[in-house]
Amino acid sequence: MTRVHVFVRGRVQGVGYRAWTADEAAARGLTGFVRNRRDGSVEALLVGDETSVRAMIGAMRSGPPMARVDAIEEDTPASEVLRLAGDGRFEMLPTA
């Protein structure tokens, strides 16, 4: 099981990026969450098999049609981030 904490920067709010991420992640069988950040970025926790997580990160580099991704930062999730992962599905969380 691979767990990657991702921060996406660019024009990623107000363009459907969160909903697109939730749909794409669920279609790939991933669990975790996605949420907007007050700084204008999007944060996601991707949990699943290595191949699916890596494919999702690759897809996130483009995102939905109106998005513009300038950078993606990956990190190992801390325990408090893992607690937000919910009940085994992919969720959209409130802005943090």
The pLDDT tens digits of the residues spanning 62-92 come to: 999 999 999 999 998 777 777 777 667 888 8
Q: Among this protein's residues, is 11 annotated catalytic?
A: no
Q: What is the pLDDT of residue 86?
A: 66
Q: Among this protein's residues, is 36 annotated catalytic?
A: yes
Contact 70, 17 (CB under 8 A): no
- What is the average pLDDT across 5-12? 97
For CA atoms 67, 70, 73, 74, give the dihedral sign. positive
The pLDDT tens digits of the residues spanning 24-40 come to: 999 999 999 999 999 99
Look up residue 62 and give its DSSP letter: T
Catalytic entry in 9, 11, 28, 36? 36
Catalytic entry in 3, 11, 18, 83? 18
- What is the average pLDDT across 5-32? 97
Q: What is the pLDDT of residue 89?
A: 81
Domains and CATH numbers, the chain: 2-92 (3.30.70.100)
